[in-house]
Structure 1
Amino acid sequence: MAFSDEEVERYARQLVLAELGGPGQQKLQAAKVLIVGCGGVGGPVALYLAAAGVGQITLIDPDRVALSNLHRQIQFATAEIGDEKTEATAGAMKAINPNVRVFQIFAALDADNAPTWIGQSDLVIDGTDDFATRLLVSDTCTMLDKPLVSGALGRWTGQVGVFTGKPCYRCLVPDVPPEAETCQRVGVVGALAGVVGSMAALEAIKLIIGAGQPLAGRLLIYDGLKGEARTVQVTPDPTCRACGG
Structure 2
Amino acid sequence: MDDHALLRYSRHLLLKEIDLTGQQKLQDARVLVVGCGGLGAAAIPFLAASGIGRLILADDDVIELSNLQRQVLYGEADLGRHKAEAAADAVRRINSGIRAEVLTRRLTALDLSGWMAGVDVVLDCSDNYSTRQAVNVAAVASKTPLVSGAAVRFDGQLLVVDARTEGAPCYHCLFGGAEASDGACAAFGVFSPLVGVIGAQQAVEALKLVMGIGRSPIGRLITYDALSANWRELHFGRDPDCRVCGQG
**Shorter-chain-normalised TM-score: which range?**
over 0.9
User: 1:16: Cα distance to partner?
Assistant: 0.3
Which of 211, 217, 220 is the aligned partner of 2:222? 220
Corresponding residue for residue 76 of structure 1 = 74
Corresponding residue for residue 29 of structure 1 = 27
Question: For each residue in 1:9-45, what CA deviation from the matched residue of structure 2 results, as whole angstroms up to 9, or x when unmatched?
Answer: 1111111001101000000001110000001111111
Contact 2:129 2:181 in 1 (8 A): no
Corresponding residue for residue 127 of structure 2 = 129
Corresponding residue for residue 55 of structure 2 = 57
Contact 1:124 1:147 in 2 (8 A): yes
Corresponding residue for residue 203 of structure 1 = 205
Which of 90, 93, 103 is the aligned partner of 1:92? 90
Unaligned runs of 5+ in 1: none
Question: For each residue in 1:52-76, what CA deviation from the matched residue of structure 2 results, as whole angstroms up to 9, or x when unmatched?
Answer: 0000110010000010001110010
Contact 1:50 1:100 in 2 (8 A): yes
- Code of the residue aligned with 1:54 in structure 2: it is I
- Bigger mean CA offset, 231-240 vs 170-179: 170-179
Corresponding residue for residue 19 of structure 1 = 17
User: What is the identity percentage for the equivalent residue pairs of Structure 1 and Structure 2?
Assistant: 40
Which of 134, 142, 162 is the aligned partner of 1:164? 162
Alpha-carbon distance between aligned partners in 1 of 2:202 and 2:238, rounded to the nearest angstrom: 21
Alpha-carbon distance between aligned partners in 2 of 1:112 and 1:23, rounded to the nearest angstrom: 34
Unaligned runs of 5+ in 2: none
User: 1:177: Cα distance to partner?
Assistant: 2.8
Contact 1:131 1:176 in 2 (8 A): no
3-state SS, counterpart of residue 70 of structure 1: helix
User: 1:175: Cα distance to partner?
Assistant: 3.0
Corresponding residue for residue 193 of structure 1 = 195
Q: Does 1:141 align with 2:150?
A: no
User: 1:234: Cα distance to partner?
Assistant: 2.2
Question: For each residue in 1:130-162, what CA deviation from the matched residue of structure 2 results, as whole angstroms up to 9, or x when unmatched?
Answer: 110100000111111111000100000101110
3-state SS, counterpart of residue 124 of structure 1: strand
User: 1:232: Cα distance to partner?
Assistant: 1.6
- Bigger mean CA offset, 19-28 vs 174-183: 174-183
Contact 1:35 1:57 in 2 (8 A): yes
Contact 1:164 1:217 in 2 (8 A): no
Alpha-carbon distance between aligned partners in 1 of 2:21 and 2:33, rounded to the nearest angstrom: 24
- Code of the residue aligned with 2:173 in structure 1: it is C
Alpha-carbon distance between aligned partners in 1 of 2:219 and 2:121, rounded to the nearest angstrom: 16
Alpha-carbon distance between aligned partners in 2 of 1:111 and 1:20, rounded to the nearest angstrom: 35
Cα 1:233–1:98 shift into 2, 3 Å? same
User: 1:179: Cα distance to partner?
Assistant: 5.9
- Bigger mean CA offset, 91-100 vs 171-180: 171-180
Contact 1:57 1:100 in 2 (8 A): yes
User: 1:211: Cα distance to partner?
Assistant: 1.2
Contact 2:152 2:182 in 1 (8 A): no
Q: Where does structure 1 differ by over 2 angstroms across 4 or more consecutive aligned residues? A: 175-180
Alpha-carbon distance between aligned partners in 2 of 1:39 and 1:176, rounded to the nearest angstrom: 24
